[in-house]
Amino acid sequence: MGGYLGTELDLILSWSPAPAATFTIGYSQMLATDTMIRLKGDGNLSKSNSWAWVMLRINPRVLEF
């Protein structure tokens, strides 16, 4: 077994509709190697491992001096 487990690819897009708010979406995909599959004990290299996420961050200024 080699020491290389794989590569993760990430795509992230952000948009700020207001100064105190940020909307972010992302997509990730893991391209595992045979070493990763052996360490996990289960898995299949022919299946993809991907996920997507959405985040809304609100950062209001409550106290300003």
pLDDT in tens, 14-24: 999 998 999 99
Is 29 inside a domain boundary?
yes
Q: What is the mean pLDDT of the chain?
A: 87
CA distance 32 to 30: 6
Is 63 inside a domain boundary?
no
Number of domain units in the chain: 1
Confidence of residue 43 (pLDDT cuts 50, 70, 90): low
Is 19 inside a domain boundary?
yes
Comparing C-alpha atoms, which of 30, 32, 31, 36 is closest to residue 1? Answer: 36
Tell me which of 61 and 1 has the higher pLDDT.
61
Tell me which of 55 and 41 has the higher pLDDT.
55
pTM metric for this prediction: 0.68
Is 1 inside a domain boundary?
no
Is 44 inside a domain boundary?
yes
Residue span of the structural domain in which 19 resides:
6-58
Is 30 within 8 Å of 8 (Cβ atoms)?
Answer: yes
Q: Among positive and negative, which fits the CA dihedral 28, 39, 33, 35?
A: positive
CA distances from 47 to 1, 22, 26, 43 (A): 20, 33, 20, 8
